[in-house]
Chain A
Amino acid sequence: MDRRTALQRIGVLMGGGLSASTIAGVLGGCSAGREGERFIARTLTEGKDQLVATLAELIIPETDTPGARAARVHEFIDNMLTDWYEEEEAQAFLEGLDDLEQRVRVFGGDSFLGLNQEDQVAFLTKLEEEAYAWQNAGQDGETPFFSTIKSLTLFGYYTSEVGATQELRVMPMGEYRGDVPFEEIGRAWA
């Protein structure tokens, strides 16, 4: 298979030529077979799933490709908390959400979801700066909640079908080339 064919094949894999919404529909339909099935949070109950979905979407927003909400990152995080994590780890995550809400009140709001988007971004910017300082100071002590939810969001997004195929590119199979002009691929491999 020559390079052009390979790249065309990538195009097919990526749904080249189809509109983003068509793809989202197709992909949504084949992911975990939950078409029409409503997500019911098992650990992120009492609206916490919406808080996580909003935070994740702020971290990876919709642009010309879908964001974290469309990639169902909050569902992924709920699955991890429920099926994968130790109880204490899941508990720590939930406490992180509670702490965040507490800080929103110090910040002058009622709840994170009650803030307008500008204030949400300003608030998260503050948390990001703290996390960055923690990272530069040798990562001593407890991991800041921002770092936890950011890495879970990135992991959940870029390993999702949406993140891997629409935002990034899935590595094709068939050949290896060790020096390809970047513009022929155009995105990072997922």
Chain B
Amino acid sequence: MIPKSVRIAPRRKTYDVLVVGSGISGGYAAKELCELGLETLVLERGRSLEHGVGYVTEHKRSWEFPARNSKGSRVHKMRFAVQSRTYAFGEHTEHFFIDDSENPYVEINPFTWIRADVVGGRSLLWGRQCYRWSNLDFEANQRDGIGIDWPIRYADIAPWYEYVERFVGISGQAEGWDPCPDGEFLPAMPLNRGEQVVKERMARVHKDRILTIGRAAVLTQPHNGRGACHYCGPCHRGCTPGAYFSSQSATLPAAAATGHLTLQPDSIVHSVIYDDETGRATGVRYIDRVTGQMQEAKARIIFLCASALASTQIMLNSKSRRFPNGLGNDSGALGHYLMDHHFQVGAAGELPGLENSYYLGVRPNGIYVPRFRNVSRASARSDYVRGFGYQGGAFRPSWNRPQRGFGISLKQALRQPGPWTMLFEAFGEALPQYENHVVLDGNVTDKWGIPVLRISCTWGENEMVMRQDMMQSAVDMLEAAGATNIAPYDNFVTEGLGAEPGLGIHEMGTARMGHDPQTSVLNSHNQVHSVPNVFVTDGACMTSSACQNPSITYMALTARAAHFAADELKRLNL
């Protein structure tokens, strides 16, 4: 497991808690645990990055980039072959992403694994959409007889949603729509003219759906010391006023303010150290990426928040006499039931008659049509289970739209914006399937000598049937809105890149929660059933995927688990 040549230098200090990862989940764990008075060490594999100072492309204009903010260079193909597949990657963000050439994984089927490699992780790059789950989601597995039952219900997590929403700051509109409960909202961003028109016309025809402004972790007014959005556009370059929520702008500063935080970048966790005598984890082994040396860090409690697949990789690589198949893996469920949201399917259409209207500023947010399928007897489908929501928005394309010709007439035509265009893009729930899984590769290791993941994941029949409705329902709404030139699309390509799993960057499952230690890895408090001082609170814990963007749920679960862990520590149960 550990090369003999590597020197192991144990650190002297034993922390109360060790958090692996500083993204959405790790940052939240650090904040809560530090505020609860616990001495907390955060190990982050990525390099150090200072809020503000590290946002080297913030507000740069297109002409200030050598290739005008493109992607696909020779260097990108060599070092970011996978990362280049996501929309967020480009000249303006390449410094946040992981180097694929040093950190490979094996794709048995096309699976896009997007990873950051800096302090703050993917919280710097995320899409910022925040939607609560409801009991429709927490009861889904039990109702459909698919997978295992969630060990929690909406009532367990609702107060924690409220708790994190108050800190995060989410702009949005309360709608009273049961499948997607309202939260604690800051003032909503406005719909634009095209969206307003679509909303009104849709409401006349589709009484079973609503269109609302996206619920976004972007501030519309100053909040907890962070500044309001100034509508510059590309949040994922970083935001010095901290208008969008990230570990960098919000949780890590809060954790640091307590005086209990030790944040250590460049520390790539290899495995959890398990003590067969005490039946507890005692710390982790990690590789100092500057020196390349293996080190150890000790703590009384460990929070794995490295992201779904990275936390699972660490657990699979944590082999001991007690756990020969990976830490806490009595059930054999570790690594299995990998899920992501399937998307890149929907429709777009033009909205005639609004040519005199335009917009000003870049709103870092779109619209949301929350789930309306299989939410009641009337909306039940016979051809698939679960459902989907729509994101998207209305916009007027600029010079990069197709426009025939050349010369003065072309230049004149492109002076004007294109027609108002409405886009509905669906995000669908994926079912937990045993076959969708990861294992450690027996031969391939990364630059640090850690066995890489072999990822095997495909969409199932339920997803593929759902996609037809995801496309058709978008067409229906556009027709109701009086749109013309309606263009349905589905980017999925069998065995190819297009809408493959992973691309949603909502990968989850692989260390699921459940009541029964024989079928799940974690209990109702994200605690490893058989190793009570290890918690996993990132996407790995998810028992089903719902169709809502998951980050706010990770944050709520993390805060809940952190308070539980601190209580247990106080009661000397850990």
Contacts and interface: CB of A to CB of B under 8 A. Distances in A.
Contacts of A175: 230-231, 360-361
A168 B408 contact: no
Interface string A155-172: 110111100100110111
Interface stretch (A43-51, A82-90, A101-109): A82-90
A151 to B, nearest CB: 9
A6 interface: yes
B363 A159 contact: no
Given A84-B74, A171-B360, A132 B404 contact: yes
Nearest to B231: A176
Interface stretch (B146-154, B395-403, B479-487): B395-403
A173 B232 contact: yes
B407 interface: yes
Given A84-B70, A181-B357, A188-B414, A173 B231 contact: yes
Nearest to A135: B402
Contacts of A59: 406-407, 410
B358 A158 contact: no
Contact of A182 (B190, B358, B412, B414): B358
A174 B358 contact: no
Interface string A52-63: 000000111101
Contacts of A14: none
B222 interface: no
Contacts of A160: 62-63, 68
Interface stretch (B96-104, B192-200, B298-306): B192-200
A128 B403 CA distance: 12
Interface in B137-195: 189-193, 195
A124 B356 CA distance: 34
B572 interface: no
A22 to B, nearest CB: 19
A64 B450 CA distance: 61
Interface string B49-89: 00000000001011100111110111001000000000000
Interface in A108-124: 121, 124
B61 A161 contact: yes
B396 A76 contact: no
B407 A176 contact: no
Contacts of B231: 173-176
A171 B405 contact: no
A83 B66 contact: yes
Contacts of A173: 59, 230-232, 361
Nearest to A86: B74
- Most B CB contacts (10 A, CB to CB) among A31, A80, A156 go to A80
Interface in B214-268: 229-233
Contacts of B63: 31, 159-161, 164
A135 B191 CA distance: 35
Nearest to A146: B406
Contact of A150 (B66, B191, B357, B406): B406
B356 A177 contact: no
A189 B61 contact: no
Contacts of A158: 398-400, 414
A17 interface: no
Given A121-B407, A159-B69, A188 B74 contact: no
A179 B193 contact: yes
Contacts of B69: 159
B355 interface: yes
Contacts of A164: 61-63
A135 to B, nearest CB: 8
Contact of B415 (A6, A84, A188): A188
A79 B411 contact: no
A100 interface: no
A178 B61 contact: no
B362 interface: yes
A171 B361 contact: yes
B416 interface: yes
Interface in B510-560: none
Contacts of A156: 68
A70 interface: no
A155 B414 CA distance: 12
A41 interface: no
Given A164-B62, A190-B62, A172 B361 contact: yes
B399 A182 contact: no
Nearest to A174: B230
10 contacts: A63-B412, A80-B67, A164-B61, A164-B62, A171-B361, A175-B230, A177-B359, A178-B192, A180-B358, A180-B360
Interface of A: 3, 6, 31, 58-61, 63, 67, 76, 79-80, 83-86, 121, 124, 128, 132, 135, 150, 154-156, 158-161, 164, 167-168, 170-185, 187-190
Interface of B: 59, 61-63, 66-70, 72-74, 77, 189-193, 195-196, 229-233, 355-363, 396, 398-400, 402, 404-408, 410-412, 414-418
